[in-house]
Chains A and B, each alone.
Chain A
Amino acid sequence: MSDVVVRTDGLTKRYPGGLLAVDELDLEVHEGDLFGFLGPNGAGKSTTIRMMLGLVFPTAGNVEILGCPIPKRGGDALSQVGALIEGPGFYPHLSGRRNLTLFDAAGKNGTRSTRTRRLDDVLERVGLADVGRRPVRAYSMGMRQRLGLAAALLRHPRLLILDEPTNGLDPQGIHELRTLFVDLVQEGTTVFLSSHLLSEVELICTRAAMMANGRLVAQDRVEALLAPTGVLRIESPDASVAANVLRSRRIPVEWLDRTHLRVHLNGEPAEEVNSLLVNQGVRIRELARERPTLEDVFLGLTGSTALEPSSDPPTETATEEPS
């Protein structure tokens, strides 16, 4: 089994006002994961991240980062973690470079002899290499976001915790970041990516957890979460013939419009249905297994919309370990 980089165990936070922000959360992030942490605004993602970083103290349960309990041994673990927490934070009257220097000098692992080189590297990496000596006050929102990311990357962290990193970026910037995250994971960094944009995560993440109202509703490999639904979509100019053929074999069919059908496979392999139709002279323009989007999965699990197929109650699905 690969190393567990983040483990939370019955993690619960009730704020003094009585708000139950996080309720019995069990997360497990493995080394090398590009882990998507999903849920709508207010689901408890940020509170969870703040507990992982020792900013908010849990009411109950435990957090372990890189094997160290937080906040007890935060000093050991967190100096190997880079984080972007709900938007970047900088001293507006200082330059980006000066801000990064102060941040690097503030704690452990900020070796002075390598600082200039590390600063150059990360600024290059996030696309701020030629930003010059302007104060951060004069940065655009996207530039601040990039600078925040540079701060997180400064010490070559083993674990990168990013809360809504694409906020304020244009589509080009978002694309660059996605590429950067994939590169980082290939270099061996574990990336924990929190987002309310489910489609963003779908594109790059290898594993994902979903939260709603402080509770975990799913945690699995993205591939498993997005497994085919058992429905086949067919487009054919001979749709009515196809429907008759399939119904004669007791395969349920729904009409979408005059040329589109939804076929409920009920265990029948898709290729069998295909060959059956072709043998009956049905001309097929397109045939595809329906796959849910993460949004569909999420809505299905939280019961916000009735969605097929009715899955088991929202619990953690058994996980196959990617080795």
Chain B
Amino acid sequence: MIAVELSKLVRRPRTWVTIALLAGLPVVVGIFLKVTGIAPAPGSGPALLSEVLNNGVLFPAAALALILPVFLPVAVAVVAGDAIAGEASAGTLRYLLARPVTRGRLIASKVIMALTFIALAIGIVAIVNLIAGASLFGIKPLTSLSGTGLSTREALARTVLAILYIGWSMLGLAGIALFASTRTDSPLAAALTALAAFVTSQVLDLIDATQAIKPYLPTHYWLAFVDLFRDPILWRGIQRGVALQAVYLVIFLGAAWASFATKDVTS
């Protein structure tokens, strides 16, 4: 069943269009920076972007930082929101369950499908933009955000860590979207529900009045990946972010399973 899900994922034109758009946006930004030579002032603009003009090695991480606030979460919400509700609206859910595929197995393979999509998207974005960064800006030894020197090798290792962290950061949202996907027969409604949760979290994270709950918001530690480029690395935010995403994933997958296992499938 897992192979079937992965086959559906890679045979779907939408998967590749989404990934192409995700990878393309940072390339466009990179070209503008290269042509105009105008980088955001250090400390302003999207994370790491002020540095890339001097050094392409940071470009993959900067590219992910560009798609992280909106584009990537939207893509994850759409794909994970489609998981069950998409089958329901296509009329294939009843056939899969009567095949029979047990409900637990179906959810599990959908989770793996969503994780594969995230890995695939982030991996391709990173590779495309590593090539773009190298060819636009060249690869040089890096000065860390804290001012000390980093070898190219070290910089790439930290970039890989950043990629893993950003991918991991999507788990909570993917869990929420999957849960929503079991509650409706409309993939659009499921994606919108997940996006509503995402936007709410972002808004609450912006204001001071929510200080008490901020550390529990699913998006709160998303930008902590920047700390991987400090010397020494600031692990605190990273660790909390990893743990928080795991908690969200477990809670919402549990809810998704409980909701789906007892649901009358009338689609």
A56 and B96 alpha carbons, distance in the complex (Å): 14
By a CB distance below 8 angstroms, the chain B residues around A91 are 8, 90, 92
Please tell me if the beta carbons of B98 and A85 are within 8 angstroms of each other in the complex.
Answer: yes
A83 at the interface (CB under 8 A from B): yes
A74 at the interface (CB under 8 A from B): yes
B236 at the interface (CB under 8 A from A): no
A78 and B12 alpha carbons, distance in the complex (Å): 29
Please tell me if the beta carbons of B11 and A98 are within 8 angstroms of each other in the complex.
Answer: yes
Max chain A Cβ within 10 angstroms of own Cβ: one of B7, B12, B95, B102: B95
CB nearest neighbor in A for B93: A89
Please tell me if the beta carbons of A106 and B99 are within 8 angstroms of each other in the complex.
Answer: yes
| Contact of B95 (CB < 8 Å), options: A74, A93, A151 | A151
Q: Considering the complex, which residues of chain B in the window 1-31 have a beta carbon less than 8 Å from any beta carbon of chain A?
A: 1, 3-4, 7-8, 11-13
| A54 and B264 contact, Cβ closer than 8 Å, known pairs A90-B92, A91-B8 | no
A50 and B11 alpha carbons, distance in the complex (Å): 30
By a CB distance below 8 angstroms, the chain A residues around B93 are 89
| Contact of B1 (CB < 8 Å), options: A50, A83, A85, A106 | A106
| Closest CB in chain B relative to A44 CB, distance in Å | 13
A300 at the interface (CB under 8 A from B): no
By a CB distance below 8 angstroms, the chain B residues around A151 are 95
Q: Considering the complex, which residues of chain A in the window 76-130 have a beta carbon less than 8 Å from any beta carbon of chain B?
A: 78-79, 81, 83, 85-94, 98, 102-103, 105-108
A15 at the interface (CB under 8 A from B): yes
Please tell me if the beta carbons of B92 and A85 are within 8 angstroms of each other in the complex.
Answer: no
Q: Can you give 15 A-B contacts (C-beta < 8 A)?
A: A50-B265, A50-B266, A53-B98, A56-B265, A78-B98, A78-B100, A89-B91, A91-B8, A98-B11, A102-B4, A103-B95, A105-B3, A105-B4, A107-B99, A108-B100
A residues in contact (CB < 8 Å) with B? 15, 50, 53-57, 74-75, 78-79, 81, 83, 85-94, 98, 102-103, 105-108, 151
B residues in contact (CB < 8 Å) with A? 1, 3-4, 7-8, 11-13, 90-102, 262, 264-266
